[in-house]
Every structure is written in C-alpha cells, then in structure tokens.
Amino acid sequence: MFTKNWTNVSKKTMSVVMVGALLGTTACAGDQPAPTNQAGAGTDASAGAAKFTYTLPGKFVNWIKDMNWIPVLLKETGADIEFVNGGDGDPYYKNIDLKVGSGQFSDAGIVQLSQAEVYGSKGAFADLRPLIDKYAPNIKKFIDDHPDYSKLITSSDGKIYAIMPQYPRIANTTFYRDDMFKKAGITSDPKTVQEFTDVLRKLKDAFKDNKNFYPFGGRDDFLRFQSAFSANDLIDAQGKVHGVYNGGQGYDLKAPGFKKLIEWYIGLYNDKLIDPEWVSGLSTEEAWQTKVLNGNVAVGNDFYTRPSWFMLNGGVKTDPSFSMKVMPPFLNDAGAQSKFPTVPEFRVDRAFVINAKSVDKAPGILKFLDYLYSDKGQTLAGWGVEGTTFKKNASGKNEFTIKFEEESTKPLGTPAWTFFQDRLTFPIPVNNEAFYEFNADLTKSYANDYFSKYAETFPIIKYSTDELKERSNLVAKVNEALKANLVKFVSGKRPMSEWDAFLKEMDAMGYSKIVEIDQKAYDSMMKK
C-alpha cells in the first residue's frame, strides 16, 4: 500500500524515494565560478570523443535504439557507445551485484544509488567529484544550483560515486467522462470531498438503469485523495516524519484524517458509488479501461496521460460524444487546496556510475554527459532538431512540428522522433516545458498549468544499507496486512469498532519501527 498509484513537511522542491526500496553539501571545490550553459566539451575537437560500454535495463536499451535524436547526439559529440542490455526489474540490480563482484561490469552503467555508494566506497566505482570539477562545467553548475540533489549524491565519505537523471514533474490526475457528467446535469467540477460525493450520487441516479455502473473506479490500490484528508505521509516543517514515508504517496495511519478517509470509502462502498472489484483488488487494468470506455465507470484517478489514452483508444471511435476532462484536487477540511504528490524529482534507481577500472575513459564520458547539460544538448534531448522536429513560433518559443499521435504509436523496432523524458537515456536534466508539449492535445491543454498549481514534490530520504535491508523486510510484512485489513474495513468484513485494535496490530508488525527508521535516516541525511 506504500507504492505509487501509477504504471504516480519540509516542503522543499526535492523529490522523494526510498533507495532500493518500495519499490556536507557538495558545492564543488574550485576558485572560479562555474561557467553557465557552456556548449559542452563534445562540441569541439579538444573534447575528445567518448568511447565506452554502458549497461542499463533492457527496456531502455530497446527504446534508445528507436529514438531518432540519439544518432544525432552521437554525431554531434563524436561518441561511440555500446548499449548493454542488463535485463529488467529486480534481477537487473542483482545482476549488477554479480558483475561488480566478478569484475565484469561495463565502463559505465545504471545502478541503485545504494549500490553506487557501497561499491564506490570499496573502490569499484570512480569518484566523479574531481572529474566533474575538471571536465564538466555544466554538470557542476547543475549540482551547485540544486543543493538538495548535491546532498543526495554525496556519499558519507564526501565523494560522488553517481549522478542521477532529473524526472519530469508529473503526478496523478482525477479525470472524468465529461459527456456522462453533462447527461447527469453536472455542470461544474466539485471543489470538496462532499461535493465530489454528491457528484457521484448524481451520476449513480442518472445511470441507475445500468446495473453494472459504478461512478468511481480504477486499477491497483483503491485509496486516493489522502492529502484532501490530511492523511498522507510527509515530513513537516520541524523535520518530523509522519507515516511510513513514501514521498506523499502513502498514508499516515495515526493521522485523524486517515480514519475519516476510510469511513468515507465505507460510505462510497455501501452506496455503490465505487466499483467493488476495484476495492477488492480484482479489477485488472484491462477491465477498468473497458469499463470507462463502455460507460460503466465515469470517474478515475490515475496517471496524467490517461484521459488522452481513453480518447485515443476507442473513445470517440465508438461514441462520437465521448469526451474526457480533468478536475483539480479537492480542498481539505481547512479549506486549503490539497495537492497530488509528484513522481520523485530524482530517480535513485537510475544512478549513473563509471567503473574505476575505466577511469582513463572517464574524462571523455563526463565531457559527453556535460554536453547534454548545455543549452544545445538540452534542446536536442527535449525538442530534437530545428527544422525537422520543431520550429520557432512568432513569440520565439519552440513548437513541435511532428505529430505526437504518429511518432509515439510506432511499434518497437521502428525509429521515431520521441521525447519521453521519463524514459532513461542518460543522467540529464529534464525540460518540463518540452515534456508537456510532446503529448496529445488533451494532455498538453492542462499538464503545465495542472502540475504548476496542483502537484507537490517531497524530499528524498536516503538510507544506509543496513537501514534499507531492515526497512524493506518490515514494509513487505506491513504492506500485506495493511492492504488486506483496509479492504475488510471498507467492504464491511471488519467493523470500525476494531480500528484501535487494528492500529496496534500494525505497530506490532513493524509500522512504528519503519517510521522510526525513516526518522533516523532523514535526521542523519540532514546533518551532512
């Protein structure tokens, strides 16, 4: 239950992730200020062409092969890179352990940040700090401009063994069948949880002849809107951790609002306003999609591109009136605007390292990466080639000239101009403006404004290897029991009179211990 909602304080703009789980500050030394957005060493003969092997998960290798901007990048920089398919999922990272242990790791590769620090401290990975100082002015500036990122990548010994890609500012959205809202006489978006409940009732009444209709449905775990009930995990302004920490995407079981959240879901379930298959965990992604397209579900909360997906995959083709819209998150009990947690800003499961045995290649590798941090490199990675994929409009802003629907739907193995910056290529900054623009028209119409107003990025907690191991074991046990019990409460199989007993059960399984580990890890990180 402490996982992200999508396939989703010290309220700083850091991001939040558990290193390898659920799933001092390092201004670089140097007397001279870092140059700003230099072209990068890859743009002239003095740069030296990078030639190296690069291991990363297989799905990204396959996607990279189809990205038309990659050959342009290699030509611009003179780089020669052999992409090594290391497999996918948990086996990928276990294979990294084996490769490093046997001395067969490639020149560079993607690892967990925890792996980078453990193996780096043992001499397996190069310390990137002096190399960045000397060869990568744009990367150095990025680190200096992002002190939270600097703190995250700095190991306990003061060295930097890995750098990580920045991730797009995205979160879940709440969306609905606008055509069904209109048929039900609903003319405005609900602003509060109570107004939303009233909307669901109106929908249920309007489509009462359809015995298979449930207004609210989805896939994966059914609990949503924790922040509207002030029941999400967080780190407050005093640095106290609330709940099992998952970057705002989990729950604070001890918060008064969490019990209210469950009681609200009980009401939805009893009044048949929520799909019971979703609550039970039996609703597959395919089943949910079919229900939305067929009009058996009208409202969802899922990945931000889902409304466009429904429009492009059957919606208007079978029903000309089919239309989708998004609604803002609800106001909380205090009347303040709640927000959805973003995907972590920096992905600790995508840490880029250089093999210490390949240190002679490190200057070329860093110069190559530095090009991607320059203005020219950022334009290529975010927009492509002017005159081919984008143009300058009358206002001087970039504007894609390619069609998203054509490029993004090409089958695997077919080269295309795609700019999905959430797909791993190299550890580079994100260009959110370009990322939002490379989307279907419906998504483009709301993404930038929506995530500016209604999304919140939480801090990252970094754990030691021992903390991570203990925490992972506890979370696995607590997760299973938590999920099962919440389903029982909402479906009526366990009475709310046993709520206090339930909380004690969770503590006995390790809930409070996990929070304790989170607090200790956060405090330790902030002391650097």
Q: For the residues 429-437, what does the mean pLDDT come to? A: 95
299 pLDDT higher than 90: yes
Tell me the torsion sign for CA atoms 330, 334, 337, 338: negative
78 pLDDT higher than 90: yes
Q: What is the DSSP letter of 375?
A: H
Give the model's pLDDT for residue 493.
97
What does the pLDDT look like over 99-147, one tens digit per residue?
A: 999 999 999 999 999 999 999 999 999 999 999 999 999 999 999 999 9
Enter the tokens of residue 268.
């939805």
- The residues of the chain that CATH labels 3.40.190.10 are 41-168+345-456
Which comes out higher in pLDDT, residue 9 or 496? Answer: 496
Give the model's pLDDT for residue 49.
87
Percent of the chain with pLDDT over 90: 83
> Three-state SS across 293-361?
HHCCCCEEEEECCHHHHHHHHHHHHHCCCCCEEEECCCECCCCCECCEEECCCECCCCEEEEEHHHHHH
Q: For the residues 80-104, what does the mean pLDDT come to? A: 94
* CATH number for the domain formed by residue range(s) 41-168+345-456: 3.40.190.10
Confidence at 469, pLDDT banded by 50, 70, 90 = confident
Q: For the residues 240-268, what does the mean pLDDT come to? A: 96
pTM for the model stands at: 0.83
Give the model's pLDDT for residue 24.
29
DSSP characters over 133-164: HHH-HHHHHHHHH-HHHHHHHB-TTS-B--B-
2 pLDDT higher than 70: no
11 pLDDT higher than 90: no
Q: What is the DSSP letter of 34?
A: P
What does the pLDDT look like over 380-395, one tens digit per residue?
A: 999 999 999 999 999 9
199 pLDDT higher than 80: yes
Give the model's pLDDT for residue 470.
94
> In a 10 Å sphere around its CB, with 0-12 CB exposed, 13-18 middle and 19+ buried, how is residue 16 labelled?
buried
Enter the tokens of residue 80.
């020669």
29 pLDDT higher than 90: no
Which of 446-450, 466-470, 499-503 is modeled with the greatest confidence?
499-503
Which of 4-13, 43-52, 157-166 is modeled with the greatest confidence?
157-166
Give the model's pLDDT for residue 528.
62
d(CA 386, CA 91) in angstroms, rounded, equals: 40
Give the model's pLDDT for residue 466.
86
User: Which of 39-53, 157-171, 282-296, 318-332 is predicted with the least confidence, judged by mean pLDDT?
Assistant: 39-53
Confidence at 48, pLDDT banded by 50, 70, 90 = low
* CA dist 467 → 113, 246, 334, 517 (Å): 14, 15, 36, 7
Percent of the chain with pLDDT over 70: 91
* CA dist 182 → 162, 268, 302, 308, 323 (Å): 52, 22, 22, 19, 10
User: Which of 21-35, 186-200, 327-341, 360-374 is predicted with the least confidence, judged by mean pLDDT?
Assistant: 21-35
